Structure 1
Amino acid sequence: MPISPNQGSTGGGTLVTITGTNLSNTSAVTFGTRPATSVTNVSPTQVTAISPSGTGSVGVTVTTPGGTSNPVPFFYVGAPFKSSLSASSGPLAGGNTITINGTGLSTATSVSFGGVTATPTVISDTAITVVVPAGAAAGPVSVSVTTAGGTNNGLSYTYIADPTITTITPSSGPASGGTALTVTGTNLDSTTSVTFGGAAAPFAVINTTTLSVVTPSGTAGAVDVVVTNPAGSATAVGGFTYVASPGI
């Protein structure tokens, strides 16, 4: 007498289907010593029932006017617990893979990012991986994991949009470097690097639209300025011009 699924939440409420023979006029389905909260006779070979709350492994039996069946095992699973995300932010377009660590994750069937679901890959009871789906808008969303034991919330993931560059002021300076300048644009608050012709520059985030940057040394001529955040990069082609020092 198969039962599907054969595991469910300790809080009960799992709809299970029991398949067998002579199941007409089923009067009761019992999980261990506790009756199911609902029983529906589907056909002479199938009954559905909603599990009561419970713990551990219990035997499920079906009772009809002809008697009580042999027990089949049903396993109660606790709700999952999430302890951390391997990355708490990523591109708005999604597509990056992150690891969720916790306990009770071996039966994970879905992960929700702000209501957008993705199917995880179970690594072990303490870890799953999931490809982050695209987000609706930049900003934080709640992350929930659903397993046979229920759904757990409590972690947050932040979607980040690609940066843009609007202006670089001033747009020129000595090849020796050291020019303090301002970069304006959008989505700059999560900037991870700024480069001038490939050379890294020290910078400070002022706000989401403004960076304060000091130019590294370079070679006379125009160079590309690239601003990068976890979502991607923005390039101002020839955005800064290095000016050679005068010679006498």
Structure 2
Amino acid sequence: MPITPNQGSTGGGTLVTINGSNLDNTTSVKFGTKPATNVTQVSASQVTAVSPSGTGTVGVTVTTPGGTSNPVPFFYVGAPFKSSLGTTSGPLAGGNTITLSGTGLSTATSVSFGGVTTSPTVVNDTQLTVTVPAGTVAGPVGVSVTTAGGTNNGLSYTYIDDPTIGTITPTSGPTSGGTAVTITGTNLDSTDSVTFDGTAAPFSVINSTTLSAVTPPGTAGPADVVVTNPAASDTAVGAFTYVASPGI
């Protein structure tokens, strides 16, 4: 008498299908000693029922006027517990793979990012990997994991738009570096690096449209300015010119 699925939440509520023979006129279905609810006679060989709450492994039995069947094991699974996301932000377009850690994850069937669900890859009971789906708007969304034991919420993931560079002021300075530069654009509040000709520059985020940076030393001539956030990078080609000091 196989049952599908053979595992479910400790809180109950799992709809199971029981297949067997001589199931006509079923009077009750029990999970261990607890009666199931919503018992439905589908045919002489099939019954459906909703599991009650429980723990561990219990025997499922069907009772008809002819007697009680042999027990078939059903496994109660606790709700998952999520402890962390390996990466907490990424591009609005999605497509990046992140790791989710916790417990009770071995039966995970889906992960939801702000209501958009995707199928994870189960590594083991404490770890999943999942490809982040595309978001609808930039900003934080809730992350939930659904397993045979239920759904657990509590983590947040932030979708980030690609940065863009608009203007750079001033546009030139000495090769020795040290020039205070204002960079304007869009989606700059999540910036994690600014480079001048490949060399990292110290910077401060003013707001989503403005950065302040200090040029590192460089070589005379035009230099590319690159602003990077967790979503992508934008390059202003030759936007800053290093000027050599005069010599006599």
Distance of 1:218 and 1:84 partners within structure 2: 41
Which residue does the alignment assign to 1:11?
11
Q: Tell me, which stretches of 5 or more residues in structure 2 are unaligned? A: none
Which residue does the alignment assign to 1:89?
89
Query: 1:132-155 CA deviation, whole Å, 9 max, x = no partner?
Result: 111111110000000011000011
Which contiguous aligned blocks of 4+ residues in structure 1 show a shift greater than 3 angstroms? none
Distance of 2:56 and 2:198 partners within structure 1: 59
Query: 1:181-214 CA deviation, whole Å, 9 max, x = no partner?
Result: 1001111111111111111111111111111101
Which residue does the alignment assign to 1:58?
58
**What amino acid sits opposite 1:84 in the alignment?**
S
- Which of 186-195 and 145-154 deviates more? 186-195
Query: 1:113-136 CA deviation, whole Å, 9 max, x = no partner?
Result: 000111111111111111111111
Q: Please report the TM-score for the alignment, with normalisation by the length of structure 2.
A: 0.98
**What amino acid sits opposite 1:142 in the alignment?**
G
Aligned residues: 248
Q: CA deviation at 1:64?
A: 1.3
Distance of 1:154 and 1:118 partners within structure 2: 17
Q: Are 2:155 and 1:155 equivalent residues in the alignment? A: yes
Distance of 1:37 and 1:218 partners within structure 2: 75
Q: Are 2:33 and 1:29 equivalent residues in the alignment? A: no
Which residue does the alignment assign to 2:237?
237
Q: Tell me, which stretches of 5 or more residues in structure 1 are unaligned? A: none
Q: Please report the TM-score for the alignment, with normalisation by the length of structure 1.
A: 0.98
Percent of aligned positions that are identical: 81
Q: 1:131-170, aligned counterparts within 5 Å?
A: 131-170=131-170
Which residue does the alignment assign to 1:211?
211
**What amino acid sits opposite 1:6 in the alignment?**
N
Q: CA deviation at 1:225?
A: 0.6
Partner SS for 2:94: coil
**What amino acid sits opposite 2:190 in the alignment?**
S
RMSD over equivalenced CA pairs, Å: 0.9
Q: Are 2:45 and 1:45 equivalent residues in the alignment? A: yes
Distance of 1:102 and 1:211 partners within structure 2: 37
